[in-house]
Amino acid sequence: MSQDDIRKAIADGDAVLGVEFGSTRIKAVLVDAAHAPIASGSHAWENRLEHGIWTYPLEEVWAGAQDSFRQLSREVEEKYQVSLEALGAIGFSGMMHGYLAFDKDGNLLVPFRTWRNTITGPAAAALSELFGLNIPQRWSIAHLYQAILNQESHVKDIHYITTLAGYVHWQLTGQRVLGVGEASGMFPIDSTINEYDKRMLGLFNAQLDAHEIPWRLDDILPKVLVAGDAAGALTDRGARLLDPVGPLRAGIPLCPPEGDAGTGMVATNSVAERTGNVSAGTSVFAMIVLERALSKLYPEIDMVTTPSGKPVAMVHSNNCTSDLNAWVAIFGEFARALGVEVSQAVLFETLYRQALAAEADGGGLLAYNYVSGEHITHFEEGRPLFVRTPASRFTLANFMRTHLFSSLGALRIGMDILFEQERVRLDQLLGHGGFFKTPDVGQHMMAAAMNVPVSVMATAGEGGAWGMALLAAYRLRKSVDERLEDYLSDKVFAAERGTTIAPDEKDARGFAVFMERYKNGLVIERAAVDCF
């Protein structure tokens, strides 16, 4: 679209907004009728560990949302000389899972417990056995049941529980709803009807009776919607929450709120069967849209859905780039100590590219990137570690490759179940997230780790906020009975160009050697957790 066309679309209220609350950044993206990003704004934030709980204060949720929207609005005014008063549709996304519990007056009962917490082991194990389905520790139902097992005083006062995306949507529209993909990370979904599984609801309600809990689970969960459904409209209060002093008007339609896994699937056009995507940033997870159900329960595999309700096998590792980023920051400090100013972008690219020149297995080095617990390898807490023997080849290139490989170690353990035990087949695996920001490097490492070709689209850097904007556009513009996968393939990605890197045989063998070292060395990580 031309500059004049974009200006007119914004003035006419036809542009669409997507906002995602990620683990380290809140990002807002505005798109035009061709689904191309035309403005953006972002706000950095960070979770904090308070009294043993990973959390974000709700005040920071709104401070970040307002800052992101303010930056986006300023860019719109500067680039197109028009103010952002109306929109065609809006969508909000956030980190999946976690626990936000409210009383009947809308008061938060306990601080927000994020997906990163690994404090629900007994509840997750009990529910997995009760349901015959893997219930991960980070799922909302595991947090709720653990609070019940702990006999926490707030439980009797619960009137509503939701996720971060569901909370933001509720405050802006008054609607207590969730997209089915996000809802599938709260409680198991029956994909034949796109509702919470009725059998499992009954089993959980029986547990509530045994604990003399006064409410029913059905009554406190958000209503489930699928992509394309109407999900309310921005209220006057919501408009002021998002844009306290600006001209944004109420009445804008919203699409169902979704989780970051769902927006990642949408942003990579991975919502059809035999497609998959891997999102690699603070955490790393792979989403594989299945042709058939898995043969049995696997504690390492989560069953969730696409935003339209198709069953998805999800392999999620809590830890990916946080420890790697910390090492890059140390190198930045060293450069500044020498009086050399290096931009963050140059620093990351320089160090990441060193990994391409490394020995295939990382030269006998070993690292664990466990900033927090890691359920795939059964750690409730984490201790970032770097280990070498006197015989290891301790070079910068090997050091960087080892940390990049380590970022994918736990993920590979989970993916082996799908590839080797369930014989899952993929037509494409698409990558997105900060791990892929340096061209080629992340793709080479991921291809070696997964031993499949990895593609990155030109739009991959737009991330989940763009994916959420696409869901909002689908809500606004889809034709009757048009499926999400068809809308994306025909109207969004038809002319998309990307790069594909196949696994190098030598690198794949090197990663296999590294993984044997990684598995054997887990006793070192266990000793660190137990002793320090």
Give the pLDDT confidence of 328-360 residue by residue, as tens digits. 999 999 999 999 999 999 999 999 999 999 999
**Rounded Cα distance, 164 and 368, in Å:** 29
DSSP for 134-173, please give it.
---TTSHHHHHHHHHHTT-GGGGG--EEE-HHHHHHHHHH
Mean pLDDT value across residues 489-514: 92
Return all residues near 159 (Cβ < 8 A) that are at least 6 apart: 102, 103, 104, 215, 220
- DSSP structure class, residue 392: S
What pLDDT score was predicted for residue 123? Answer: 98
Mean pLDDT value across residues 196-204: 97
Residue bearing the bigger pLDDT, 520 or 459:
520
Tokens found for residue 482: 């048009």
pLDDT in tens, 223-268: 999 999 999 999 999 999 999 998 999 999 999 999 998 998 998 8
281 pLDDT band, cuts 50/70/90, is: confident
**How far, rounded to the nearest angstrom, does the alpha carbon of residue 491 sit from its chain's CA centroid?**
24
* 485 has a pLDDT exceeding 80: yes
* 488 has a pLDDT exceeding 90: yes
* 76 has a pLDDT exceeding 80: yes
461 pLDDT band, cuts 50/70/90, is: low
What pLDDT score was predicted for residue 253? Answer: 98
What pLDDT score was predicted for residue 428? Answer: 75
Beta strands 189-190 and 195-196, pairing class: antiparallel
Sheet strands (E) in 197-274: 223-225, 258-259
**Rounded Cα distance, 149 and 211, in Å:** 9
Tokens found for residue 152: 């926490």
Alpha-carbon distances of 56 from 109, 115, 214, 499, rounded to whole Å: 14, 11, 29, 36
In angstroms and rounded to an integer, the radius of gyration of the C-alpha atoms of the chain is 23
Alpha-carbon distances of 327 from 13, 185, 317, rounded to whole Å: 45, 32, 20
pLDDT in tens, 414-439: 999 998 999 988 877 898 888 998 98
Alpha-carbon distances of 137 from 205, 373, 413, rounded to whole Å: 19, 11, 18
pLDDT in tens, 382-413: 999 999 999 999 999 999 999 999 999 999 99
What pLDDT score was predicted for residue 406? Answer: 98
What pLDDT score was predicted for residue 462? Answer: 66
pLDDT in tens, 356-379: 999 999 999 999 999 999 989 999
pLDDT in tens, 299-328: 888 889 999 999 899 898 999 999 999 999
Sheet strands (E) in 13-163: 16-21, 25-31, 37-44, 48-50, 53-55, 89-94, 100-102, 160-162
DSSP for 396-456, please give it.
HHHHHHHHHHHTTHHHHHHHHIIIIIS----SEEEEESGGG-STTHHHHHHHHHHTS-EEE
What percent of the chain is modeled with pLDDT above 70?
Answer: 99
Instruction: Give the up-direction half-sphere exposure of residue 424: CA atoms within 13 A in the CB hemisphere.
Output: 31
Q: CA angle 469-312-314, nearest 5°?
A: 95
To the nearest 5 percent, what fractions of the chain are helix, strand and coil? 45, 20, 40
Q: Please, what is the average pLDDT of the chain?
A: 94
Mean pLDDT value across residues 188-196: 93
Domain segments of the chain: what residues? Answer: 322-406+506-531
Mean pLDDT value across residues 100-124: 96
What percent of the chain is modeled with pLDDT above 90?
Answer: 83
What is the value of pTM for the model shown? 0.81
Dihedral sign, CA of 245, 44, 431, 190? Answer: negative
* 53 has a pLDDT exceeding 80: yes
